[in-house]
Structure 1
Amino acid sequence: MAKRVEQRLKRLREQGCVDCLRNGRHGIEKESLRVTPKGRIALTPHPGSLGSALTHDYITTDYSEALLEFVTPPFTDVSETLANLQDLHAFTARILAADDELLWATSMPCAIGEDAGIPIARYGSSNAGTMRHIYRHGLAHRYGRAMQVISGVHYNFSLPENFWRLFSDSRDPEVLREQRDTYYFGLIRNFQRSGWLIPFLFGASPAVCKSFLQGRSSHFEAFDEHTLFEPWGTSLRMSDIGYKNKNQAGLGISYNDLKSYTDSLERATRTPDPEYERIGVEVDGEWRQLNSNMLQIENEYYSFIRPKQPTRPGERPVHALRRRGVEYIEVRALDVSAFDPLGVHESQLRFVEAFLIYCLLMDSPPLSEQEEREIDVNQQRVACRGRQPGLHLLRDGDNQRLDSWAREILTDMEGICELLDANHGEQAYSEALRAQKAKLDDPDCTPSARMLAEMRERGEGFFDYAMRLSQAHMQHHLKHPLSAESEQRLCTLAEASLAAQRQREADDEVDFHTYLTRYFTATG
């Protein structure tokens, strides 16, 4: 593997890669629950002062009315991305403070009552808004509501055109697009093979409130009366109680190329599922789900990394990918960092960027069924036992110690970080790599270990720990010097989004049944 990466790096250097990695695009989507001063999920509507969750480009909601999602536009440097994310948080914090609410600081949610008490997001009366709302009802029936309020950080990344022009052996736009798609899918497959490294290094959800399990039994240990945890765990969010959903284990989504990916994903959205058929779709005039297929829509598939192409109005994601190819990669494996007010930090993102380029430069043969099984086993082991001394993972049919495999990856990344540093005129990438090597030398430096150690030292269960940090982060956001220009811009965007939602509702020309039928029968 190292030889192939070095060969491709050498080729880039020989071709004059002076700034071919300099203008990659970086975006963040970060989720945070709105909670009350007592640490309960807020039952209030999405604040009108934030704008419309349906039409606002940067401040919206995910599953729940209380689950805010902050979306940055793509920037050419992660420092700009994080500055924009900070402005979104500061603007929101001022509005929430007026309502005596705050943002929850961790991936795993606050204390949860009955599952049915978690409010599902609403998007108004337009057909598009109604579809979003019903889709979320379907998720509730299929998986329960509690799983849907786990928060994460999604990192969106694309390589610059300069890179592709050097890396490709063609100047024909169609061939170049096909080659770019091929390499992005190769990146995705390698991320699946080695992506367990991300929760090991950055996982920050080793503990959870007992209330999250809603009375279900589990293999977790009791930290205290109200907290369950995995002693060597890194990311329960990424385990089988969270993001890694058992219901989707048999979908057979292929990442071997764009066609097999879109075909398998579309097949899952068109294939009836007997279990979901028993739920019903529209029962006594009430919608329970959009349909009874294996997936209601493509976004229901809970993958750790996705190929993305922005959709146009009424366009399905698989059709957008087929028509225009992969524009960027969405990494969904990052927990919300409890130690950072934004839930993520610059060194972390620079490391992930370098890791993605490493995944791109390695050879990436198609995934076999054996490899897919190994990937699932490895992700679960690292999520629940990643810091266990001597832990072995599966690799090409054999066992390999996590620490030796991780050291191999980090060593292979050195040349990539050096090239990135040369392109950016600083040592930020090499420093980010050194910070992760230190975690291999001492796993107690990982966020998951630090979190449990701090809970023990302070005598705090998960809820009290997360509540304290939520309050501290809220003060950080309130003190952030939001410029008058930024505040006015965000106020204007909020007002414009509310007007756009009203316009959508006024412009609907067909009933919801017709709208839904047209959406699902569209071809592409």
Structure 2
Amino acid sequence: MSEYYYSGKFGIERETLRVDSQGRLARTAHPFGDDEHITRDFCENQMELVTPVAGSIREALGYLAELDERARKKLAENRESIWLYSNPPHFDSEDEIPIADFTGDLSSKRAYREVLKKKYGKKLMLFSGIHFNFSFPDELLHELNTDNEDFRAFKDELYLRLYKQLMLHSYLLVLLTAASPYYDASLDKDGKSGIIMSEYSSLRNSKRGYWNKFLPILDHRDLRTFTGSIKKHIVTGSLYSASELYLPIRLKPKGVNSLENLAANGVDHIELRMFDLDPSAPLGIDGRDLEFVHLLILYLLSLPDIDFTPDLQEKAVSEHKNAARLDPDAELLERAESVIKEMEKHFGDNEKAIEIISFEKEKISGRKVCNRVKYYK
């Protein structure tokens, strides 16, 4: 096995809402200026911590802890704090959700958010979560390129192959990290209040969450056809930009995140966007979950390429939404358990990996027990 096999570059983006001393959405302006590591997402009171690129998950979590501490200290000066749940707190109306006030060179970001407001409404944009970014070391990619293909073409093909497998297996990560079954009734209707137990274990990953009004079918034959198929949706007006492509996995370029940059310069890293904030974890994410994601990526890299047909694309999204239910289909849980067993075989000689996989395996076993109890009732 290559000495670079378990290496890589890692990054974490964490979205949270700012709340006042009463637990209501903060009405103050974003207090961190143009800090690239503590920025805003959709609205002015939705804060996003963006770690520097790290050489390990542990290092990335260390960066996140530093940013979290800085943010909390600054918010405390205004008697504000971080709402560490994916679903928002109570709010009376959308007037409490001011669009992020980007100006100057960044004014296009505000224009984009105005489009989202009209298209989806502001409530939807309050859902918050974790995005995980990963890239392989070039040394490993060069070793894998045994036929000495053009490196850029080989790299793009590898990430696209991984993208398809992650789309097909995104249901597994939802099953393992869903953490938002409760929500406030104001999310349903202005003026309502009270905590509701949802039928979903993750509202933002369910059919009520971040999805386009149609399923964008893409052409995955190569990066050119992939970016071209996204461009077609933009040209026809179905999508405002590539950023509006609400799928759980994204291929990202280095530098400016634009479709043009991705097409011109190729894939730099892959982004996984489905993780709920874990309120039981001080930083909103359990490091073991991210370690498992890395192992899943390595395992999926060993699988053969697939023809990601429109039917398979529809199936992947349907199963992702199914996994966000409190009672997902038993067949989905069986398949999840099967994937984990295959991962145990793949990493059989790595004690640390087996420990991480066992941690996740217990979650699936627990979900299966809950489903059986509901069935017999």
**Range of TM-score over shorter length:** over 0.9
Matched, 1:434 2:364: no
What residue in structure 2 maps to residue 30 of structure 1? 14
Q: How does 1:25-424 map to 2 (within 5 A)?
A: 25-47=9-31, 50-52=32-34, 56-124=35-103, 126=104, 128-171=105-148, 175-214=150-189, 226-231=194-199, 233-245=200-212, 247-249=213-215, 251-271=216-236, 293-312=237-256, 317-385=258-326, 387-388=327-328, 391-392=329-330, 401-418=331-348, 421=350
What residue in structure 2 maps to residue 491 of structure 1? none
Structure 2 residue runs without a partner (length 5+):
371-377
CA distance in 1 between counterparts of 2:112 and 2:364 reads 42
Do the aligned partners of 1:40 and 1:111 also contact (CA within 8 Å) in 2? Answer: yes
Do the aligned partners of 1:59 and 1:70 also contact (CA within 8 Å) in 2? Answer: yes
Higher relative contact order (CA 8 A, sep 6+): 1
- Structure 1 residue 20: deviation in Å? 1.8
Secondary structure, counterpart of 1:186 in structure 2: helix
CA distance in 1 between counterparts of 2:214 and 2:94 reads 21
The amino acid that maps onto 2:235 is: R
Secondary structure, counterpart of 2:204 in structure 1: helix
Secondary structure, counterpart of 2:325 in structure 1: helix
Do the aligned partners of 1:357 and 1:416 also contact (CA within 8 Å) in 2? Answer: no
Secondary structure, counterpart of 2:324 in structure 1: helix
CA distance in 1 between counterparts of 2:266 and 2:186 reads 43
Do the aligned partners of 1:188 and 1:359 also contact (CA within 8 Å) in 2? Answer: no
The amino acid that maps onto 2:189 is: Q
CA distance in 2 between counterparts of 1:445 and 1:180 reads 42
Secondary structure, counterpart of 2:14 in structure 1: strand
What residue in structure 2 maps to residue 488 of structure 1? none
- Structure 1 residue 415: deviation in Å? 4.4
CA distance in 1 between counterparts of 2:316 and 2:340 reads 19
CA distance in 2 between counterparts of 1:113 and 1:267 reads 39
Question: Which of structures 1 and 2 has the bigger CA Rg?
Answer: 1
CA distance in 2 between counterparts of 1:132 and 1:99 reads 26
The amino acid that maps onto 1:160 is: P
Do the aligned partners of 2:58 and 2:287 also contact (CA within 8 Å) in 1? Answer: yes
Higher helix share: 1
- Structure 1 residue 216: deviation in Å? 12
Do the aligned partners of 2:175 and 2:364 also contact (CA within 8 Å) in 1? Answer: no
Do the aligned partners of 2:178 and 2:202 also contact (CA within 8 Å) in 1? Answer: yes
- Structure 1 residue 84: deviation in Å? 0.5
Do the aligned partners of 1:22 and 1:160 also contact (CA within 8 Å) in 2? Answer: no
CA distance in 2 between counterparts of 1:38 and 1:444 reads 38
The amino acid that maps onto 1:353 is: H
Pairs aligned (count): 370
- Structure 1 residue 171: deviation in Å? 3.7
- Structure 1 residue 413: deviation in Å? 1.1
- Structure 1 residue 418: deviation in Å? 4.7
- Structure 1 residue 46: deviation in Å? 0.6
The amino acid that maps onto 1:87 is: E
- Structure 1 residue 403: deviation in Å? 2.6
- Structure 1 residue 311: deviation in Å? 3.4
Q: Which runs of 4+ in 1 moved over 4 A?
A: none
The amino acid that maps onto 1:164 is: L
CA distance in 2 between counterparts of 1:324 and 1:138 reads 28
Give the TM-score, by structure 2 length. 0.92
The amino acid that maps onto 2:196 is: L
The amino acid that maps onto 2:70 is: F
Do the aligned partners of 2:12 and 2:50 also contact (CA within 8 Å) in 1? Answer: yes
Cα distance, 1:371–1:416 mapped onto 2, change above 3 Å: same
Of all paired residues, the percent bearing the same amino acid is 27
- Structure 1 residue 252: deviation in Å? 2.4
Do the aligned partners of 1:22 and 1:76 also contact (CA within 8 Å) in 2? Answer: no
Give the TM-score, by structure 1 length. 0.67
Secondary structure, counterpart of 1:236 in structure 2: coil
Q: Deviations over 1:3-42 (max 9, x none)?
A: xxxxxxxxxx3xxx1x122430110000010011111111
Do the aligned partners of 1:188 and 1:255 also contact (CA within 8 Å) in 2? Answer: no
Aligned CA-pair RMSD: 2.1
Do the aligned partners of 1:37 and 1:101 also contact (CA within 8 Å) in 2? Answer: yes
Secondary structure, counterpart of 1:442 in structure 2: helix
Cα distance, 1:83–1:418 mapped onto 2, change above 3 Å: farther
Secondary structure, counterpart of 1:103 in structure 2: strand
Secondary structure, counterpart of 1:57 in structure 2: coil
Cα distance, 1:241–1:216 mapped onto 2, change above 3 Å: farther
Do the aligned partners of 1:122 and 1:129 also contact (CA within 8 Å) in 2? Answer: no
Secondary structure, counterpart of 1:184 in structure 2: helix
